[in-house]
A and B are shown apart, each in its own frame.
Chain A
Amino acid sequence: MTPLDVAFAACGLLAVVGGVLAVSTRHVVRAALWLVVALLGVAGALLVLGGELVALVLVLVYVGAVVVLVLFALMLTRAPIGPDRAHAAGPWRAAGAAALGAATAGLLATVLVPLADGTVAVADVPSSAVAEQLFGTWVWPFELLSLLLLAALVGALAVARSRPAPSGAAAGEAAGEVP
């Protein structure tokens, strides 16, 4: 056990505990906040593995933007403050989901862990090398990503905005048909 192993185990434990609580808690807002804890643990693990840039972007984008978006969506869909009893899963469903998750984790672990061939020295990839490759080898996928983000932005606006008045009445009728 090297110090890096100990640091990785601590961050991984934080990530796993946060993840398990995020998927199992009854409070919807606390689920989003436990996701923050899990993602901070993952960011720490990535930092130990030598991916400083990835860890920083993870914290910036996931914790800073995605979790805030999830919290906004929870508020806009009128999430209850206390435990969410309207959407509580039954015991059989919880047991089935836990079994499914354990089976997935077990399957992946049995495939991946034999591939780990001993200890390795963490490769040091400086950020300047990452930038060089990002804007050299990977420049076309990078530019396509900006198109994807633009399409997602326009698409999200088009889907989520309220309808204008004439078709809004039709939407109101359609919503009225649903019991």
Chain B
Amino acid sequence: MIHLAGPYLLAAVLVGTGVAGVAVRRNAVLVLVGVELVLSGGLVLLVAAQASGGDRWAAGSVLPLFVITIAAAEVVVALAVVLAVFRRRGSIDLDLPGAAGDAGR
């Protein structure tokens, strides 16, 4: 027996922490840490839906696996972009001016 308020509260706090991390970081690699925290909050919600017995087709176990896989693919591509930007500009500071101009050329 478990009370469902715990998982819901944990998911809300994890998502809030992740959003704060995305907003506060200037290092492009560390923005991904916040994204991972947001996604783990989503995972907690999905598995809590399974624990309450309200899902069909084992969606509470299968959809988290999909989310984890998509997150891994997203991190790989994002880090490749960060490395390419670092090679070109010599910095991964997201506040550096000229970032929009680089995209236009």
**Chain A interface residues toward B at CB < 8 A:** 2, 4-5, 8-9, 12, 15-16, 19-20, 22-24, 28, 31-32, 35, 38-39, 42, 45-46, 48-51, 53-54, 57-58, 61-62, 65-66, 69-70, 72-74, 76-77, 79, 84, 86-89, 93-94, 96-98, 100-106, 108-109, 112-113, 115-123, 125, 129-130, 132-134, 137-138, 141-142, 145, 148-149, 151-153, 155-157, 159-160, 162, 171, 174-175, 178
Flag B83-105 by CB within 8 Å of A: 1 or 0 each: 11011111011000010001001
A sample of 12 inter-chain contacts (CB < 8 A) reads: A12-B9, A38-B14, A46-B44, A48-B2, A51-B51, A53-B65, A69-B75, A76-B86, A117-B4, A129-B58, A134-B65, A162-B87
Flag B1-44 by CB within 8 Å of A: 1 or 0 each: 11111111111111111111101111101101110110010011
**From A102, which residue of chain B is reached at the shortest CB distance?**
B16
Other-chain residue from A125, A142, A171 in contact with B61 (beta carbon distance below 8 A)? A125
Q: Which 8 A-B pairs have the closest CB atoms?
A: A105-B16, A101-B20, A23-B21, A97-B24, A152-B73, A108-B12, A116-B4, A97-B23
User: In the complex, what residues of B have CB within 8 A of residue A22's CB?
Assistant: 21, 33, 37
User: In the complex, what residues of A have CB within 8 A of residue B70's CB?
Assistant: 145, 148
Other-chain residue from B34, B52, B92 in contact with A23 (beta carbon distance below 8 A)? B34
User: In the complex, what residues of B have CB within 8 A of residue A79's CB?
Assistant: 27, 29
A5 touches B3 (CB 8 A): yes
B2 touches A4 (CB 8 A): yes
**From A42, which residue of chain B is reached at the shortest CB distance?**
B40
Question: With A134-B62, A145-B66 as given contacts, are A174 and B5 in contact (CB-CB < 8 Å)?
Answer: no
Which residues of B52-70 are within 8 A (CB) of A?
52-53, 57-62, 64-66, 68-70
B9 touches A113 (CB 8 A): yes
A-side interface mostly: helix
A178 touches B77 (CB 8 A): no
**From A178, which residue of chain B is reached at the shortest CB distance?**
B89
A36–B8 Cα distance when bound, in Å, is 21
User: In the complex, what residues of B have CB within 8 A of residue A174's CB?
Assistant: 88, 105
User: In the complex, what residues of B have CB within 8 A of residue A98's CB?
Assistant: 20, 24
A15 touches B51 (CB 8 A): no
